[in-house]
Amino acid sequence: MKTQILPHVAARSSLSKKIAFGLLTVALILMPFVLGLAGPSWVRTADYALLYCMLALGLNIVVGYAGLLDLGYIAFYALGAYMVAVLASPHLNIHVSPWLLIPIGAGFAGLFGAILGAPTLKLRGDYLAIVTLGFGEIVRLFMQNLDRPINITNGTQGISGIDGLSLFGANFGSGFDLFGSHYNGAYLYYYLFLVLVLIIIAICMRLENSRIGRAWVAIREDELAAKAMGINTRNIKLYAFAMGASFGGVAGGMFASFQGFVDPTSFGLMESIMVLCMVVLGGMGNIAGVIVGAVLLTLTPEALRAAIHPLQDALFGRQVVDPDNVRMLIFGLALVAMILFRPEGLIPSRRRKEEFHHD
Amino acid sequence: MDIFIQQLANGLIIGSIYALIALGYTMVYGILGLINFAHGDVVMVGAMTTVTILSALIGFNLGIPPALLLVVAVLCALPVCALLGFGIERIAYRPLRHAPRLAPLITGIGVSIVLQNLAMMVWGRGYQRFPEVLVSDPYTILGARITTYQVWTFVLAIVLMLGLWVLVQRTRLGRAMRATAQSDRVAQLMGVNVNRVISSVFMLGSSLGCVAGVMYTASYGQASATMGFLLGLKAFSAAVLGGIGNIRGAVLGGFVLGVIEAMGAGYLSDWTGGLMGSEYKDIFAFLVLIAVLMVRPSGLLGERVSERA
Amino acid sequence: MTEAIPTKISNGHGHGTHPMLEFQDISKAFGGVQALKNVCLQVEQGSIHGLIGPNGAGKTTLFNVMTGMYQADAGVFMLDGEHVSLKTSPQELAKKGVARTFQNIRLFNEMTALENVMVGQHSQTKTGLIGAILRTPAARREEAAIRTEALRLIEYVGLSREVACRVAKTLSYGDQRRLEIARALALKPRLLALDEPAAGMNPTETAQLQDLIRRLHADGMTIVLIEHDVGLMMRLCDRITVLDFGQKIACGTPDEIRHDENVIRAYLGGDAVSHVGK
């Protein structure tokens, strides 16, 4: 009697499940080539979508499972990214292998997750949100200003020339050749990120059905009753922060290698809110929902941007407004609309639906 | 010693601005138990609107003293902000009165994003300069250099706060507000139109915020579409510091935070041996907030939140 | 907070004759309201002890002190002969073996019935993050053991296996109450505190609950029980303590309580004393 994420899944025959699974695998493997037909930038977009999947899954542990509203989650992304940037680039001329930095980044970010989470353990929901927001801003401020007296982060200029990943001597950045065509590095990073996302999904699924996972949900549902069960809510919450942060750290490190440079502007409040929205709008606590949220919220702005530019040309003959503003505007409106009309998210977990539509 | 007095003066003046904005947060939290995430951006709209109108009026060369034009500009911006506050409550918060608290927080964030980007579409991403309307030579009191304008800011802020106090304590609306803040269900049974009270609170907070936004812009010489976020966060910290839901608390919190920030900006270099300079001054608001919530979550004067929260 | 010097020195953890639970002069005030005043309570091992009194008498407050959710201001708290600090947290008391159900049913609604009972075993199990992520053999064994035990407890309280897989919120009211008891039993408690377990139940469900409590009693569990269903209390309890306005006004067997003047006065008023119980 395993926990059902989607109750009706059990009703389908196991053969059709296997077929669907097989099709999905093939689709995922061929995806970058399909996207590449629409233009090489779409493969990069897919890479970013996968990075955001990692972030969303990480935040899902904190917000979705444990019910802790974290508005400063991007700080762990920043920590992971800057760690790789500092330790694998010409900036300080240290060149640790980025592969090694994956587990180190995870551990480092996880530790910080516990540190930043510790002061928030006794706070009410809204206050928790604001304090975590504050922490996110503080981390960003430090990244922006740690260029004196010792230049660690290179301040507002950021760090560039970060080492890309390489496997068996071949640098990811240089791409590969197949059947006579050359495919750039984005393809290779796609497969790497896909593997990482799958690993993270596996970890999340195992955590969901474990003693700690149940303790998280218990705390989210009713913290007092959870305490009455003998659950050490303090430690369990710290585990949630640490686990979620570690995923963020891994994603950040990958981001640094992939993009080749980092600067403080990538790690502001808006990014934290974006990830939160992916979790909330996709369906809090639900792995599939959160992934859908991440993919949707990464792809839609790109699609919008692609559409708005020609639209403005057609309507006004020129660019009247910055397309970035338009897409953020739409995002804000969509956020409000979503909460007003379908707050449980696209693929809700059981209870949320009842919580919002109880009458 | 000179720095101390100077920073104290600066702190009190910026603190009065924080206090005015904090009042908006504290009144809403006291009644609805929610953080109005969009409040800072309403302040921004007030500031930007005023600057635009003022610049236009000056451009007309009507021969009217600019200070008077400023008053006119503010009076034009006030209803804009009040209306904005009213609209935000109606659209983004009222339908969610009974939803879990995460919901209005997120819609508040959504509204904040909308306002910021609309502002950027209208005014661009850069800064709007505040016209040179209130230039005067600073004079020195007790070793601190203060301009006439700064004194006016302080005085006006105090007057507004007193006005709000009188309204809350002595008028019918104020009584209704206090009753609703204690228990909206019982207030309703007593015949109070709770919806109208809540709308009034939003409009009041937005209006005070509008004035504060103008003061802030005049102080720093410029306004931008993104100024609302940081300013709002600081003001909210001030509200929590004083005791959320508590009007006197918001005032006290504003002044205390202003002074702490000013002192920090002035002395941080000395304290850290040059390691950290005044560019870190924005951290103080966060640090204060975190410290308060950990050590004395009900704030300096105690919180006053309704039984629903 | 002051703690009185215990008048009884513990003799160690033996079985023996000491009560399972003992309160001496427990007091608790909330601001100006004295919720509990010098309350004394002795619950003998293996007995069913009832707690009755008019609304607002302080019964649930006493339960909250018993389970660590409120910290008493003064008095002595002894559990199975051991002195318990008044500052003990709910988690620690749960680990010491005090389990409870709630007046308003506080199940973990999102989880299945089975998962609810599995959570109850949290403090007796130890698989951490690493074990969970890596699915070590030890972790898998523990998980299987937790599941088996949870099923056993669900059947013990009279629920069927089919119910175990359903989400807690979808269960009937009576089933939810029994599930809460199963969850409390998962803590392997020495003392089971039931807060109005029969509230809102129809007669059939109440009878089933009575059987369950009798079964627990027969298996040696010490039970403290708050209930408004006076008939149920009279049938089930070995002893009853009566509270009124935060003070103990009577303690004794059901028969003694039925005829106690103070109790009659508290429930029915002064004039009733001369009319009732003759």
Give the per-residue SS3 of chain B. CHHHHHHHHHHHHHHHHHHHHHHHHHHHHHHHCCCCCCHHHHHHHHHHHHHHHHHHHHHCCCCCCHHHHHHHHHHHHHHHHHHHHHHHHHHHHHHHCCCCCHHHHHHHHHHHHHHHHHHHHHHCCCEEECCCCCCCCCEEECCEEECHHHHHHHHHHHHHHHHHHHHHHHCHHHHHHHHHHHCHHHHHHCCCCHHHHHHHHHHHHHHHHHHHHHHHHHHHCEEECCHHHHHHHHHHHHHHHHCCCCHHHHHHHHHHHHHHHHHHHHHHHHHCCCCCCHHHCCHHHHHHHHHHHHHCCCCCCCCCCCCCC
Phi, psi angles (nearest 5°) of residue C7: -85, -15
Task: Find the mean pLDDT for residues A11-39.
Answer: 80
Asked whether at least 3 C-beta pairs link B and C within 8 Å, the reply is no
State how far residue A204 is from chain B, nearest Cα, in angstroms: 23
CB–CB contact A233 C69 (8 Å): no
The angle, 0 to 180 degrees and rounded to 10, between the axes of the packed helices B102-123 and B227-242 is: 140
A357 touches chain C (CB under 8 A): no
The alpha helices in chain C, defined as continuous H runs, are: 59-66, 90-96, 113-120, 129-134, 137-156, 161-164, 173-185, 203-218, 230-236, 254-259, 261-268, 272-275
User: Mutating which of C63, C71, C123, C133 best tests the A interface, going by the most A Cβ atoms within 10 A?
Assistant: C133
Chain position carrying tokens 């053969």: A15
Tell me how far apart the terminal alpha carbons of chain A are, to the nearest angstrom: 30
Q: Which two tokens stand for residue C214?
A: 């009798």
d(CA B194, CA B188): 6
Tell me which chains share at least 3 CB pairs under 8 Å with chain B.
Answer: A
Chain position carrying tokens 């009026």: B57
Chain A's closest residue to B290, CA to CA, is A131
User: Percentage of chain C with pLDDT > 70?
Assistant: 91
- Reported ipTM: the value is 0.87
Burial class (CB within 10 angstroms; exposed 0-12, middle 13-18, buried 19+) of A247: buried
pLDDT, tens only, A47-97: 999 999 999 999 999 998 998 989 999 999 999 999 988 888 887 888 888
Which residues, in sequence order, are bridge partners of residue A177? A182
Whether C11 is in a domain gets the answer no
- Considering its fold, how many domains does chain C have in total? 2
Whether C12 is in a domain gets the answer no
CA-CA distances (angstroms) from residue C261 to C18, C184, C243, C269? 29, 36, 13, 10
User: Percentage of chain A with pLDDT > 90?
Assistant: 32
DSSP string, A94-113: EE--HHHHHHHHHHHHHHHH
Q: Which of B289-303, C201-215, C222-236 has the lowest mean pLDDT?
A: B289-303
At C147, the amino acid letter reads R
Residues C217 and C239 in one domain: yes
The CATH architecture annotation of domain B2-295 reads Orthogonal Bundle (1.10)
Residue B283 has its nearest CB partner, among A141, A148, A325, at: A141
Q: Residue C82: give its domain's CATH number.
A: 3.40.50.300
pLDDT, tens only, C54-64: 888 889 999 99
Contacts of B98 in chain A (CB under 8 A): none
CA angle (C124, C127, C129) in 5-degree steps: 140
pLDDT category at B280 given cuts 50, 70, 90 is confident
State how far residue B183 is from chain A, nearest Cα, in angstroms: 20
**Which of A26-40, A89-103, B192-206 has the highest average model confidence (pLDDT)?**
B192-206
Q: Which residue range forms the structural domain that includes residue C73?
A: 17-97+189-278
Residues C85 and C37 in one domain: yes
Task: Find the mean pLDDT for residues B277-283.
Answer: 73
Chain C's closest residue to A216, CA to CA, is C119
State how far residue A302 is from chain C, nearest Cα, in angstroms: 35
pTM for the structure as a whole: 0.85
Is the predicted pLDDT of residue B44 greater than 50, yes or no? yes
Closest CA to B284 of B218, B230, B226: B230
Q: Which two tokens stand for residue B131?
A: 């016209």
Whether C8 is in a domain gets the answer no
Residues C164 and C245 in one domain: no
pLDDT, tens only, A141-193: 888 888 766 777 777 888 888 877 777 666 777 677 777 677 777 888 888 99
Residues C196 and C266 in one domain: yes
Which residues, in sequence order, are bridge partners of residue A176? A183
d(CA B51, CA B223): 8
- By the 8 A CB rule, do C240 and C52 touch? yes
pLDDT attached to residue C271? 65
pLDDT attached to residue A107? 93
pLDDT, tens only, B133-147: 666 777 777 777 888
pLDDT, tens only, A253-311: 999 989 888 988 888 888 898 898 889 888 878 899 999 999 988 888 777 777 777 77
Closest CA to B12 of B146, B208, B166, B206: B146
Whether C2 is in a domain gets the answer no
Residues C164 and C58 in one domain: no
